[in-house]
Amino acid sequence: MSVLVLMRDAGDELSLQALAFARSLGQATGADAEPTAFTIDGPYAPASWGQTVADLVTARSPRAVIAPGTERGNEVMAHAAAILDEPLSANTTAFTPGDPPTVTRVRWGGSLLEQALLRGGTLLITVAPHAVGAAPAGVTPEVVPASHHALALAPTERVGASSGGVTLEEASVVVSGGRGVGSAEGFAVVEELAGLLGGAVGCSRAVTSAGWRPHTDQVGQTGTKVAPEIYIACGISGATQHMAGCKGAKKLLAINSDGEASIFAHADYGVIGDVHAVLPAISAEIRKVRGA
Amino acid sequence: MHVYACVKRVPMTGGRITLTDDQRAISTRHLGFTVSPHEECAVEEAVQIVEREGGSVTVLTLGPSESEEQLRDMMAIGADRALHLLTDGEEWDPQATAAAIVTAIRADAQPPDLILFGNESADAGNYQVAVRVAHALGLPCVTGVKAITIAGGRARCEQEVPGGRDVYDAPLPSVVAVKEGINLPRYPSVPGRLRAKRKPLEASSPERPAARLEMTRLELPPDSGKQVKILGRGPEAAPAVVEVLAELGVL
């Protein structure tokens, strides 16, 4: 039996991770050696794309369909699972064959893992981003025309394209403030340091809930996921909600007046002190080093 | 407009998650409970829509008897009534959850014009209950929504995508899964809490079907093994910080 892989395109990193996952699932279950990669041709319409996957399942009876655990991947596979009335394991990190097989999937934005039995006629799985290494590029996906679904909605326009400036997702430095910053005005010291480093300003959920910063600045499980070279967490305690958004950072510097704060367990570097004393000193030191 | 908002009771995890001895749940001995963040925004959005358009808000949950606390909280911020699908505390998988919600909505004498969900629950994060409910009821569905405008019997929904927002023009009734950031949920007032105690709450006990995605065990991800290097205390640490920034090449 075959394994199908829904890819965004032939070079997409997360799709290649899904392909790698599919290969190891195929080997573990004794399916045909090489999974069949495919893309869907046609404007994006979630229910239609879900119907496309469902039609492929009906026509080819694969053992499994694998997709990347992106917003779109999860959305399309949810539609396919609903149409087929099959279970779906979203954001999966591992697969263990068996009858039924066991999947490992992420909970709490990655702060917890779940093992679950997946009782599907066809195994529908999305792969958590960066849970497995990517397969080498070079596969040529089959192009499948989108099916029709009576309830399908498609986007009518795109609005609010970003207006330049460093975005949180792309910034190589993120300076983020938490409850310890104290107020909306208190973010001036955070903005100053971010500006000096050409970085973006982030914040914790406590800050957006207090109305100090807009939600677009929030880093966390329900905010933006960031992956900078260094993440500077200022006055942030290190709740699981927040760490789910910044665990992609290469290095983490925590500045907190509470030396026992759980953020230090996730940090590479730490400074124990009040952000309003430490951040201006760092900014002044940068100016001094640069001779300005 | 009759707007449904579906919510889930989840623990407030704080800084560190510990598991029960049988590894089937988070140890909640020292934790409070809340509604998943996206879902709290779904309730706030429902209340705001009804404040503008008129109508009523029904908040629905599937969960143990303790979930009444979350239903009362949501009625305190403006939901008019609550439906409680009682469980014995065992976890329901997404298909079973969706089926129970569909049965409850179909049984409602006043069918909803709009059914709101959170995009994914804070704990299980299965990303599918809203979509399953939509298909079962034969309704269109939009997910990942950061803005809703109701006009002319339609819901204009803005879905967050990389580089902007895609606009979906959904006919009513529809199912819409929202994300935190669509609004800033209000805090319950004292009069709101008092009113919530007297608002109608209907409970029923649906039968749990066999799970097809059956959680067997939870585990903590492997420790990052990180050992923090303390660069100093207070402003005196600044030169050491700048040295690290220079080493990382971000200066």
Q: What is the pLDDT of residues A49-89, one digit of tens each?
A: 999 999 999 999 999 999 999 999 999 999 999 999 999 99
CB-count exposure of residue B24 (10 Å: 0-12, 13-18, 19+): middle
Domains A3-145 and A173-290 in one fold:
yes
Q: How far off is chain B from A124, nearest CA to CA, in Å?
A: 11
- In this predicted structure, the answer to whether residue A21 has a pLDDT above a threshold of 90 is yes
Minimum mean pLDDT among A79-88, B148-157, B160-169: which range?
Answer: B160-169
CA distance A108 to B123: 5
Tell me if the domain spanning A173-290 has CATH number 3.30.930.10: no
Task: Show residues of chain A in contact with B250, CB under 8 Å.
Answer: 172-173, 197, 199, 229-230
CB spacing of A90 vs B127 below 8 angstroms: yes
Per residue in A92-132, pLDDT (tens digit) is 999 999 999 999 999 999 999 999 999 999 999 999 999 99
Q: Please, are residues A242 and A219 in contact by the beta-carbon 8 Å criterion? A: yes
B118: helix, coil or strand?
A: strand
CB spacing of B231 vs A281 below 8 angstroms: no
CB spacing of B242 vs A172 below 8 angstroms: no
Minimum mean pLDDT among A157-161, A203-207, B121-125, B167-171: which range?
Answer: A157-161
- In this predicted structure, the answer to whether residue A162 has a pLDDT above a threshold of 70 is no
- Give B 207-246 residues with CB within 8 A of chain A: 210-221, 224, 226, 228-239, 241-242, 244-246
Which is nearest to B242 in space by CA: A15, A26, A278, A153? A278
Q: Please, are residues B218 and B26 in contact by the beta-carbon 8 Å criterion? A: yes
CB spacing of B216 vs A108 below 8 angstroms: no
Alpha helix segments (H runs only) across chain A: 13-29, 46-60, 71-84, 188-196, 205-209, 240-246, 275-290
Q: Please, are residues A175 and A199 in contact by the beta-carbon 8 Å criterion? A: yes
CB pairs under 8 A between A and B: 268
Minimum mean pLDDT among A15-29, A145-159, B11-25, B199-213: which range?
Answer: B11-25
Q: Which residue has the tokens 């495919």?
A: A38
Per residue in A24-54, pLDDT (tens digit) is 999 998 876 699 999 999 999 999 999 999 9
CA distance B249 to A130: 24
Q: How far is CA A74 from the centre of its chain?
A: 11
- Structural domains of chain B, ranges and CATH numbers in brackets: 2-204 (3.40.50.620)
Mutate to test the interface with B, among A44, A70, A88 (most CBs of B within 10 A): A88
Task: Show residues of chain A in contact with B15, CB under 8 Å.
Answer: 237-240, 261-262
Strands (E), B110-153: 114-118, 141-151
The pLDDT assigned to B20 comes to 93
Q: How far off is chain A from B245, nearest CA to CA, in Å?
A: 8
Structural tokens at position B90: 């065992």
pLDDT band at A291 (very low <50, low <70, confident <90, very high): confident
**Which of A114, A155, A241 lies nearest to residue B218, judging by beta carbons?**
A114
Mutate to test the interface with A, among B41, B179, B250 (most CBs of A within 10 A): B250
pLDDT band at B177 (very low <50, low <70, confident <90, very high): very high
Task: Show residues of chain A in contact with B26, CB under 8 Å.
Answer: 112
The structural domains of chain A, with segments of one domain joined by +, span 3-145, 173-290
**Which of A91, A154, A161 lies nearest to residue B125, judging by beta carbons?**
A91
CB spacing of B215 vs A91 below 8 angstroms: no
Which is nearest to A125 in space by CA: A112, A134, A116? A116
Average pLDDT over every residue of A154-165: 83
User: What are the b/e assignments for A72-93, b being 16+ CB within 10 Å?
Assistant: bbbbbbbbbbbbbebbbbbbbb
Q: How far off is chain B from A141, nearest CA to CA, in Å?
A: 23
Average pLDDT over every residue of A175-204: 97
Nearest chain B residue to A77 by CA: give it. Answer: B128
Residues 6+ apart with CB under 8 A from B247: none
CB spacing of A240 vs B14 below 8 angstroms: yes
Across chain A, what does the average pLDDT equal? 95
The pLDDT assigned to A245 comes to 95
Across chain B, what does the average pLDDT equal? 96
Minimum mean pLDDT among A140-149, A153-162, A265-274, B213-222: which range?
Answer: A153-162
The pLDDT assigned to A111 comes to 92
pLDDT band at B225 (very low <50, low <70, confident <90, very high): confident
Nearest chain B residue to A242 by CA: give it. Answer: B15
- In this predicted structure, the answer to whether residue B132 has a pLDDT above a threshold of 90 is yes
- In this predicted structure, the answer to whether residue B56 has a pLDDT above a threshold of 80 is yes
Task: Show residues of chain A in contact with B135, CB under 8 Å.
Answer: 47, 79, 82-83, 151
Task: Show residues of chain B in contact with A282, CB under 8 Å.
Answer: 238, 241-242
**Which of B131, B162, B213 lies nearest to residue A89, judging by beta carbons?**
B213
Rounded to two decimals, the ipTM of the complex is 0.96
The pLDDT assigned to A1 comes to 77
CA distance B50 to B57: 7
- In this predicted structure, the answer to whether residue B245 has a pLDDT above a threshold of 80 is yes
Nearest chain B residue to A289 by CA: give it. Answer: B242
Nearest chain B residue to A172 by CA: give it. Answer: B250
- In this predicted structure, the answer to whether residue A160 has a pLDDT above a threshold of 90 is no
pLDDT band at B223 (very low <50, low <70, confident <90, very high): confident
Structural tokens at position A28: 């573990």
pLDDT band at A164 (very low <50, low <70, confident <90, very high): low
pLDDT band at A292 (very low <50, low <70, confident <90, very high): low
Average pLDDT over every residue of B67-94: 97
pLDDT band at B222 (very low <50, low <70, confident <90, very high): confident
The pLDDT assigned to A134 comes to 95
> Which residue has better confidence, B34 or B226?
B34
Q: How far off is chain B from A23, nearest CA to CA, in Å?
A: 22
Nearest chain A residue to B166 by CA: give it. Answer: A158
- In this predicted structure, the answer to whether residue B246 has a pLDDT above a threshold of 90 is yes
pLDDT band at B52 (very low <50, low <70, confident <90, very high): very high
- In this predicted structure, the answer to whether residue B221 has a pLDDT above a threshold of 80 is yes
Percent pLDDT > 70 in chain B is 100
CATH fold of A3-145 reads Rossmann fold (3.40.50)
CB spacing of B216 vs A209 below 8 angstroms: no
